[in-house]
Structure 1
């Protein structure tokens, strides 16, 4: 079984830079925290995968 990841870009809520994150589209709803590649601060993600396999993602500060 191969794992297919989707690269999504987000605007870091701390430093304002555009950064990418890899998303696993096999799970319908996900919550995860990853450090920004630029400023290294923790970004919290809410991810939804639609029935059409589109990935909707919100990035926010961990303390929000």
Structure 2
């Protein structure tokens, strides 16, 4: 099951929308480029398995 969630770019601070595949577990980590500045962000996704609330933390992708 996929759902959308928002995160703020670690570089420019702009809000982005991303798709989250909740069937991949309650803790996920992946890289997604900002839709505004195109820089890569590491997304740390936590999903509450009972309520399906999603929390996303971001940090810079080095490189």
TM-score, normalised with respect to structure 1: 0.81
Q: State the Cα RMSD in Å.
A: 1.2
Secondary structure in 1 matching 2:22: coil
Q: Which residue in 2 is equivalent to 1:54?
A: 53
Higher helix share goes to which structure?
A: 2
Higher strand share goes to which structure?
A: 2
Structure 2 residues without counterparts, runs of 5 or longer: none
In the TM superposition, structure 1's runs of 4+ consecutive aligned residues that sit over 3 Å from their partners are none
Cα deviation for residue 5 of structure 1 reads 1.3
State yes or no: 1:10 paired with 2:2.
Answer: no
Structure 1 residues without counterparts, runs of 5 or longer: none
Deviation sequence 1:2-47 (CA, Å, 0-9, x none): xx21111111111111111111111211110011111110000111
Aligned pair count reads 60
Secondary structure in 2 matching 1:14: coil
